[in-house]
């Protein structure tokens, strides 16, 4: 006896917008959150992944502790810690400034940091695996040519390792956008939260969540095509990479 009403998306919300506008506003916030978190995750993940392969034992232990801590604690728990606990642990003046921020900005910052750090731990393991999968030849040859260890990583080892791990990195890229849905738990109105809000206001759950699902599919397929383009542009002829 369910009454389908696809025209609900064109109805006014009473605030100068339509329900479709709510969804697209949430989509824009999801894209922005995912890109900021991904940028942070990629930079930190590469740095920690490299640290895990260095000859210094203390450095590798610290990097391993970072990875295990962030991978073993549920993402939602980490989000609550970043949003509710971290501002209380900061110096008094800084913590007060954070708590007085615009609520949306505070929610966005906490979610971006949480997603970025959580994903960086996963990327770090992929970078470590990519470097460890290389034969000893590239490292030995680079050092024999007079490159320092940091130059060997920057010019030889990392470029090769990143080409190997591009396929799993594409999965992490898409996962960032999907994981952004947890930000609704602290009140951020990203795509999933806007879908739930639409249901509360219209009582049309099927239309709302079918639309949300379709938007997530479009977003992740676009992200996949972008990564596939990067993969094709960076492929080295004759160098074996995962297909």
Taking the C-alpha atoms of residue 188 and residue 107, their distance in angstroms, rounded to an integer, is 6
Structure tokens at 33: 């959150």
List the Cα angle 93/95/97 in 5-degree steps. Answer: 70
Q: Report DSSP letters for 39-86, one per residue.
A: HHHHHHHHHHHHHTTSS-HHHHHHHHHHHHHHHHS-HHHHHHIIIIIH
Any domain includes 243: no
SS3 call for 12: strand
Any domain includes 115: yes
Structure tokens at 107: 């929610």
Any domain includes 14: no
pLDDT one digit per residue (tens) for the chain, 243 residues: 788 889 999 998 888 889 999 999 999 999 999 999 999 999 999 999 999 988 889 999 999 999 999 999 999 999 999 999 999 999 989 989 988 999 999 999 999 999 999 999 999 999 999 888 887 777 778 878 888 888 888 888 888 888 888 888 888 888 999 999 999 999 999 999 999 999 999 889 999 999 999 999 999 999 888 888 887 877 766 655 444
Which residue do the tokens 């906490």 mark?
Answer: 110
Structure tokens at 16: 């100068």
Any domain includes 1: no
Any domain includes 53: yes
Total domains present in the chain: 1
Q: Which domain holds residue 51?
A: 19-234
Any domain includes 9: no
Any domain includes 242: no
Q: What is the CATH number of the domain that holds 114?
A: 1.10.3720.10
Any domain includes 6: no
Taking the C-alpha atoms of residue 68 and residue 185, their distance in angstroms, rounded to an integer, is 24
Residue 18's DSSP bridge partners are 12
| Dihedral sign computed on CA atoms, order 150, 152, 155, 159 | negative
> Are 58 and 48 a contacting pair, CB within 8 Å?
no
In 3D space, the residue among 34, 194, 169 whose CA is nearest the CA of residue 114 turns out to be: 34
């Amino acid at each position: 006896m369910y009454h389908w009403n696809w025209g609900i998306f064109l109805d006014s919300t009473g605030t100068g917008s339509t329900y479709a506008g709510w969804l697209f506003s949430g989509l824009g916030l999801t894209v922005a959150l995912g890109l900021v978190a991904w940028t942070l995750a990629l930079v930190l993940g590469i740095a920690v992944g490299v640290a895990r392969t260095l000859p210094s034992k203390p450095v590798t232990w610290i990097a391993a502790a970072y990875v295990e801590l962030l991978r073993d604690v549920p993402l939602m728990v980490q989000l609550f810690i970043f949003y509710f606990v971290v501002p209380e642990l900061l110096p008094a003046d800084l913590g007060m400034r954070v708590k007085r921020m615009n609520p949306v900005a505070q929610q966005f910052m906490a979610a971006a940091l949480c997603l970025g750090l959580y994903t960086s731990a996963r990327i770090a393991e992929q970078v470590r695996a990519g470097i460890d999968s290389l034969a000893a030849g590239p490292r030995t040859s680079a050092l024999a040519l007079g490159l320092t260890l940091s130059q060997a990583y920057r010019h030889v080892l990392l470029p090769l390792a990143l080409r190997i791990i591009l396929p799993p990195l594409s999965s992490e890229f898409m996962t960032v956008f999907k994981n952004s849905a947890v930000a609704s738990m602290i009140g951020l109105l990203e795509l999933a939260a806007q879908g739930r809000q639409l249901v509360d206001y219209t009582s049309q759950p099927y239309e709302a969540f079918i639309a949300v699902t379709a938007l997530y599919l479009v977003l992740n397929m676009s992200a996949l095509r972008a990564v596939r383009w990067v993969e094709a542009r960076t492929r080295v002829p004759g160098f074996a990479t995962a297909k």
